[in-house]
Structure 1
């Protein structure tokens, strides 16, 4: 494993400071999609970027914003590579990112107990905590209640679902777990 230089670490932090185009309350670092940066000579860099899902429409905007920020910092050439392995997971969202989502009114994704691959079982679609006894409920970002219901599996973006709190009656987005 190659260790990043101090300059590479600084530039990676700069690339990670770019706001997500779909969720501008989060930076790309907090979202966990900027994976690595390598210098190529004294004024060129290559950045590894993993989309939240294959075909994510925001990947082009993310890439252009990273290129702009790094060029403004003095790099002549910046290339952004889309890297699909390892795949992005909602576990990659930082604790700070989860806090910001909640404060913005979006229920953050629930955390998984186990690490490693997620087992895939085919069967009926599960939509919330009521479907399985062991699933953690989706808490309302407004009042904190766990008494929420699914209104739609999709919201303003494919990575969010629309839910409603049965306590305060407010609708809210829930960043779906992947």
Structure 2
């Protein structure tokens, strides 16, 4: 089976879409933020972007989760902003990326409206600066977040072939 990685910048709707997609597919769901060590969360909450060194153990832990779900499938969120980060995730096994794509203005507005999340809007520019969209040789699809979550899930399931 395939593990779906719901990717995109902070505030793009990864948690909402990922949880609903996992429910639709009848597979386990994992939230990428749960894999972050507290130091990473504290750093982001303070408005400091993570470095590649900060992300390395986090990505490795997500890749381990992916490896453990190769037989059953699963859905996990991860910003997966750079191709080299996605390469680490692919080291865990077969993955398919659902890139939630939106404008900085729309995502910034959504981030300002949400509460209870450690990621400040001030880090959004650094997220977009790091973002390397899926390339043609990467399995997955890019879907606009201007659609309702249910439409995004329908489009993703169709693209997955189911």
Q: TM-score, normalised by structure 2?
A: 0.27
Structure (1 or 2) with the larger CA radius of gyration: 1
Q: Which has the higher helix share?
A: 2
Which has the higher relative contact order, 1 or 2, with Cα contacts under 8 A spaced 6 or more apart?
A: 2
